[in-house]
């Protein structure tokens, strides 16, 4: 039965929904980036889900035979025990001889003493098989990878090294895909001597070293040789014991130089193997002087090793190597997914708080800037003050709406402080005083009131002054400014005196006609200094000859 494994697609969808919610409600990147960020989230989520779906489909197709074999071999093992039993992938040489355990045919899976051994015929398949095992074991990767090396099956050392490099790359890819470091072990199957011990079990004895951490070093390897030489069960045939010990020392040294060197050389692009153990056994295929190890022996001793026959199958699996195998803490994929969901939620909350803080800072800066702009505009610049006032009213209405209907999510999360600005906004808005209305002005034509060069009112001119009298009576309490003007004909000083005399004559008449005290009148003659038209034309000169009656409010008059 295949377990569900880690729900990666569910986590991706959950993360995408949270991101969309935060992006739409909080808008941490601002409104200008809302649509672009939304489209980016959808594209990334769809790409990840599609990639994961294709990867799982491909893995299921590739691992279907293996999973069927595992299901058949472990049908009697409880599901909880499957995850606790060590699962070891075995790849390399002579796998058929290792997995022929009495059934007459080779198998993909072998349930040994406390371990599940899984055969991987091609090293290149290690990544796919490791991924399938992680799904089958409820998210736990394989516990280790054993590389079976039978030197006698290779033509020379160079061919063996090339195969080892392929295996090294495959294990690096497998560790990357399953997201875990896979401990590596090397099991060397080599007939060491044509002699046969009287105790047949000695020929099937493993000489190994292993630990829970990478350990391949000279001192520990030498310990393997010393243990073989000091075996408490020496064979009665001393000749076999001596030859076997010498051959074991030679094969161990050759393994260090050739096999370990190829698997751990830092100059190679693939990650080095994390070698946790190695073992040697006097068991393997037929061999002669032309094989890699025998050639190495001949180079060092000038003695050609004798030909040896193959060991009948099945060959023993390297059970001693995995006895010190590091065990991982079993974590349920659903529990891991739940922890990841909590972490993603925390990230979303952090993004929401950051976005809300950013929006609140922008709101406060905007309101403070509007208040400062309004306060910096002088009262006599009413157009600019009205523009600034409209901004303050919009700010006040926005904050008031938040107080009545609730603060939007993009400003909330306990970070909203806009309510504190409402009193300052209301005070600034209430302080606005519109400017006084402009003075009322009546312009009278001199020609209708005075003869040319004269300052006495013409008879019958009172009809022209009726409008002025009605305007003055309609605005009691205002000061009356009478200003006389002329064109530029003649002497400027004479024009100034004439304009002042005409203004005074008009004031005298208005006092008599309205009964207003003389103290409310002011007289000013400007002569030709304030033309309103071009003096070079008759029409312009006629417009410039005028008397202006201006009603000024009492406050404005005092300011003047």
Q: Are 524 and 482 in contact (CB under 8 A)?
A: yes
444 Cβ partners below 8 Å, 6+ apart? 464, 465, 468, 506, 546, 547, 548, 549
d(CA 141, CA 134): 4
User: Within this chain, do residues 173 and 250 fall inside the same structural domain, yes or no?
Assistant: yes
Same domain, 409 and 295: no
Q: Does one domain contain both 422 and 453?
A: no
Instruction: Look over the chain and give the mean of its residue pLDDT values, rounded to a whole number.
Output: 83
Domain presence at residue 265: yes
Q: Are residues 381 and 530 in the same domain?
A: no
Asked if 197 contacts 203 with a C-beta cutoff of 8 angstroms, the reply is yes
- Is 185 part of any domain? yes
Give pLDDT, residue 500: 93
| Confidence at residue 237, expressed as pLDDT on a 0 to 100 scale | 58
**Number of domains into which the chain is organized:** 3
Q: Are the C-beta atoms of residues 126 and 118 closer than 8 Å to each other? A: no
Task: Cite the beta strand spans of 343-454 per DSSP E.
Answer: 440-445
Which DSSP category does 272 fall into? P
| End-of-domain residue from the set 330, 364, 381 | 330
Residues 192 and 263 grouped into a single domain: yes
Q: 531 and 506: one domain?
A: yes
Question: What is the radius of gyration, based on Cα positions, of the chain?
Answer: 52
Q: Are residues 414 and 469 in the same domain?
A: no
The predicted-structure confidence for 323-343, as pLDDT tens digits, reads as follows 878 777 666 677 888 899 999
Query: Could you give the percent of the chain with pLDDT greater than 90?
Result: 28
Confirm whether 338 is domain-assigned: no
C-alpha–C-alpha distance, residues 466 and 362, integer Å? 62
Q: How far apart are CA 289 and CA 303, in angstroms?
A: 9
For 128, counting Cβ atoms within 10 Å of its Cβ (0-12 exposed, 13-18 middle, 19+ buried), the class is: buried
For residue 210, give Cα distances in angstroms to 111, 184, 293.
Answer: 21, 10, 23
Phi, psi torsion values for 516, nearest 5 degrees: -80, 140
Burial of 234 (0-12, 13-18, 19+ CB in 10 A): middle
The answer as to whether 205 is a domain residue is yes
Give 62: exposed, middle or buried? Use CB within 10 Å, 0-12, 13-18, 19+: middle
Distances (CA, A) of 190 to 77, 148, 194, 310: 34, 11, 11, 9
Range of the domain at 252: 74-330
316 half-sphere exposure, CB direction, 13 A CA radius: 18
Pairing of β 546-552 and β 479-485: antiparallel
Predicted pLDDT at 199: 64
Identify whether residues 425 and 444 lie together within a single domain. no
Residues (pLDDT < 50) of the chain are: 1-4, 103-105, 218, 232-233, 235, 556-560
Locate 105 and state its tokens: 């045919």
Instruction: Report the predicted TM-score, pTM, of the whole model to 2 decimal places.
Output: 0.57
Q: Which of 393, 409, 430 is the last residue of a domain?
A: 430
Residue 127 forms part of a structural domain = yes
Edge to edge, the sheet with strand 184-190 lists: 109-111, 116-120, 87-92, 144-149, 184-190, 275-282, 206-210
d(CA 115, CA 98): 15
Residue in 182, 155, 154 with CA at minimum distance from that of residue 168: 182
Which of 430, 452, 469 is the last residue in one of the domains? 430
Residues 6+ apart with CB under 8 A from 275: 184, 185, 186, 214, 215, 216, 260, 263, 264
One domain, residues 153 and 175: yes
| Separate counts of helices (H) and strands (E) for the chain | 19, 11
Grouping H, G, I as helix, E, B as strand and the rest as coil, residue 90 is strand
Is residue 35 in some structural domain?
no
Give the DSSP letter string of 139-203.
Answer: TPPPSEEEEEE-GGGSSSHHHHHHHHHHHHHHHHHHHHHHTS---EEEEEEE---S---SSHHHH
Q: What is the pLDDT of residue 289?
A: 87
pLDDT for residue 46: 93
> What are the beta bridge partners of residue 112?
none
CA 208 to chain centre: 49
Alpha carbons within 13 angstroms on the beta-carbon side of residue 338 total: 5
Residue 548 lies in a domain: yes
Task: Calculate ∠ Cα 480-482-488, nearest 5°.
Answer: 160
Residues 147 and 250 in one domain: yes
In a domain, 85, yes or no: yes
Are residues 148 and 267 both part of a single domain? yes
Q: Quick one: 285 and 148 in the same domain?
A: yes
């Amino acid at each position: 039965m295949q377990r569900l494994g880690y729900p990666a697609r569910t986590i991706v969808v959950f993360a995408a929904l949270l991101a969309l919610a935060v992006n739409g409600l909080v808008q941490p990147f601002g409104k200008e980036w809302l649509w672009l960020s939304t489209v980016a989230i959808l594209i990334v989520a769809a790409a990840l889900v599609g990639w994961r779906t294709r990867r799982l489909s491909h893995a299921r197709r590739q691992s279907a035979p293996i999973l069927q074999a595992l299901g058949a071999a472990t049908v009697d093992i409880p599901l909880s025990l499957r995850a606790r039993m060590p699962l070891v992938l075995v790849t390399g040489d002579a796998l058929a001889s290792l997995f022929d355990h009495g059934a007459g045919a080779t198998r993909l899976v072998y349930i040994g003493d406390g371990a599940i051994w899984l055969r991987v015929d091609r090293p290149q398949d290690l990544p796919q098989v490791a991924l399938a095992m992680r799904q089958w074991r409820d998210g736990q990767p394989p516990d280790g990878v054993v590389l079976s090396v039978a030197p006698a099956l290779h033509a020379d050392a160079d061919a063996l090294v090339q195969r080892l490099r392929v295996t090294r790359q495959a294990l690096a890819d497998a560790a990357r895909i399953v997201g875990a470091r896979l401990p590596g072990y090397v099991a060397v199957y080599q007939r060491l001597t044509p002699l046969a011990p009287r105790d047949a079990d000695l020929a099937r004895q493993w000489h190994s070293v292993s630990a829970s951490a990478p350990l391949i070093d000279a001192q520990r390897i030498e310990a393997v040789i010393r243990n073989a030489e000091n075996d408490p069960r020496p064979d009665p045939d001393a000749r076999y014991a001596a030859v076997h010990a010498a051959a074991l020392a030679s094969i161990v040294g050759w393994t260090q130089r050739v096999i370990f060197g190829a698997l751990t050389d830092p100059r190679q692009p693939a990650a080095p193997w994390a070698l946790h153990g190695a073992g040697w056994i006097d068991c393997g295929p037929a061999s002669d002087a032309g094989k890699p190890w025998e050639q190495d022996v001949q180079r060092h001793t000038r003695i050609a090793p004798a030909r040896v026959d193959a060991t009948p199958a099945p060959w023993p699996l390297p059970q001693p190597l995995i006895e010190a195998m590091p065990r991982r803490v079993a974590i349920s994929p659903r529990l891991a997914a739940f922890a990841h969901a909590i972490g993603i939620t925390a990230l979303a909350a952090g993004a929401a708080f950051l976005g809300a803080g950013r929006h609140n800072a922008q709101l406060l800066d905007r309101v403070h800037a509007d208040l400062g702009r309004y306060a910096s505009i002088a009262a006599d610049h009413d157009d600019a003050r009205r523009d600034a006032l409209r901004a303050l009213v919009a700010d006040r209405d926005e904050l008031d709406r938040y107080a009545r209907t609730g603060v939007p999510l993009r400003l909330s999360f306990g970070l909203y402080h806009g309510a504190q600005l409402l009193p300052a906004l209301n005070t600034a808005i209430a302080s606005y005083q519109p400017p006084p209305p402009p003075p009322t002005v009546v312009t009278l034509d001199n020609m209708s009131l005075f003869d040319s060069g004269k300052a006495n009112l013409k008879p019958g001119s009172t009809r022209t002054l009726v409008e002025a009298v009605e305007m003055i009576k309609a605005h009691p309490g205002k000061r009356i400014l009478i200003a006389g003007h002329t064109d530029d004909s003649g002497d400027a000083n004479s024009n100034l005196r004439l304009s002042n005399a005409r203004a005074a004559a008009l004031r005298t008449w208005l006092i008599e006609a309205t009964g207003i005290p003389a103290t409310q009148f002011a007289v000013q003659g400007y002569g030709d200094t304030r033309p309103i038209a071009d003096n070079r034309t008759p029409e312009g000169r006629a417009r410039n000859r005028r008397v202006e009656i201006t009603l000024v409010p009492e406050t404005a008059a005092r300011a003047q």
